[in-house]
Amino acid sequence: MTKSKIFDVIIVGGGLAGLTSAIHLSKVNQNVLLIEKNSYPKHKVCGEYISNEVIPYLNFLGIDPIKEGAKKITKVQISTTKGNLITGELPLGGFGMSRFFLDTLLLKKAVFNGVKVLKDSVSTISFKDGIFLVKTKNSKSYKSKITIGAFGKRSDLDQKMKRKFIQNKSPYLAVKIHVKGDFPDNMIGLHNFNGGYCGVSKVENNSINLCYITDYESFKKFKNISNFQRKVVYKNKYLKKIFEQSTSVFEKPLTISQISFETKKPVENHIIMCGDSAGMIHPLCGNGMGMAIISAKLASNLILQFLNGKIKTRECFEKKYTKYWNREFKSRLLTGHFIARLFKNKTISQFTYSILKMIPFLLTVMIKFTHGKKIKII
């Protein structure tokens, strides 16, 4: 039997959280293996808006999204199902960049830092006597002191680990497309329709990212995406205008189903979960990408402390990560679920609109509850 290769850290999944962790850990000379089943670069169903809270950290890692052409976003528009519009300022601001481009930037930096990137699927992850054994579908095996799970919203590995959230079917699906048309560079639109909402924002190449999420019960009444858009999405006049007055860049829309917003554990079977593997905020709050990057920073800092002996035991290390993750994100997730419910119901949505119209600063307060402060680099 072939001897397993040994790494300090193995990262399963090469999305935002996985790549960011890989860059951080390799920056301080850790021997890192990143395993990703898909080829780079690849478009993904994603809102493609990131809060500026992560800018100092990305700069620390050697990435400057603004210099690379990301769109600076300073304003937000939210419309109700009846088309009432609220416009406000984003407290910290953010930027728009496609996953296709951002993942490419991060991958380039990871490889430059010496990260070994393997295109393969992980079949099993086991833990014994303080060491992980990671096996892939191509019959390779690797060992490490730490394994990070960054395999996204839903994975076969979640099933194999019998994670609680995976036992329940999720009613949500999402659709994404890039178009060319007229939309402000500095704006993110969050437009509600019956059964869902659509995010609208520019990315680095002047394409407009249109990404909407809906529940399957609303969608299944219609034969296809085109019919659903015309008969449901277009009921919102702002969305109808954007869709009808733009030209698609993609040959066909990207879709993803079984999206779960249920509670997940930040640590499972001693695996440190990052990004969507640890928890997802409702997309209406528009900061899932930022959360993935921040969770990678939390994990990387604690991993380094554990590997250099500052954190003495694995038990203490795992408890600290869980504590820090909950402190950073638990209230965001709860607020995200609450805001999503406010805008999902027509009656409550109109009531919320009336309140925000009378007390505009409440919009800024709501946004602050789903975003953090700019990351401090110590």
| Interval 150-193: pLDDT, tens | 998 888 898 888 888 777 777 788 999 999 999 999 999 988 88
| CA distances to 6, 134, 147 from 162, in Å | 27, 17, 18
Which listed CATH number (3.40.190.290, 3.50.50.60, 3.40.50.2300, 1.10.275.10) goes with 5-42+60-65+97-168+260-349?
Answer: 3.50.50.60
pLDDT of residue 308 exceeding 80, the answer is: yes
Q: Assess contact for 134 and 35: CB atoms under 8 A.
A: yes
Query: Is the CA virtual torsion 175, 178, 183, 184 positive or negative?
Result: positive
Confidence of residue 1 (pLDDT cuts 50, 70, 90): very low
Q: Tell me the sheet residues that pair with 85.
A: 79
Instruction: For 128, list phi and psi in degrees, rounded to 5.
Output: -155, 135
| Distance of alpha carbon 231 from alpha carbon 247, whole angstroms | 19
Average pLDDT of span 57-75: 96
Q: Assess contact for 11 and 26: CB atoms under 8 A.
A: no
Per DSSP, helices labelled H in the chain are 16-27, 55-61, 99-112, 156-160, 216-219, 225-231, 237-244, 288-307, 314-344, 346-358, 361-369
How high is the pLDDT of residue 119? 97
Query: Is the CA virtual torsion 225, 333, 52, 86 positive or negative?
Result: positive
How high is the pLDDT of residue 2? 47
Could you tell me which residue, 345 or 26, shows the higher pLDDT? 26
Instruction: For 42, list phi and psi in degrees, rounded to 5.
Output: -150, 135
pLDDT in tens, 90-118: 888 899 999 999 999 999 999 999 999 99
SS3 assignment, position 259? strand
pLDDT of residue 370 exceeding 80, the answer is: no
Could you tell me which residue, 354 or 317, shows the higher pLDDT? 317
The rounded mean pLDDT for the chain is: 87
How high is the pLDDT of residue 349? 60
| CA distances to 231, 252, 350 from 237, in Å | 12, 23, 16
Q: Assess contact for 35 and 171: CB atoms under 8 A.
A: no
Average pLDDT of span 53-79: 94
pTM of the model: 0.88
pLDDT of residue 325 exceeding 60, the answer is: yes
pLDDT in tens, 28-65: 999 999 999 999 889 999 889 999 989 999 999 999 99
Q: Tell me the sheet residues that pair with 88.
A: 76
Q: Which residues lie below 8 Å from residue 349, measured CB to CB, with a gap of 6+? A: 80, 81, 82, 192, 342, 343
In this structure, what token pair is assigned to residue 361? Answer: 């600063």
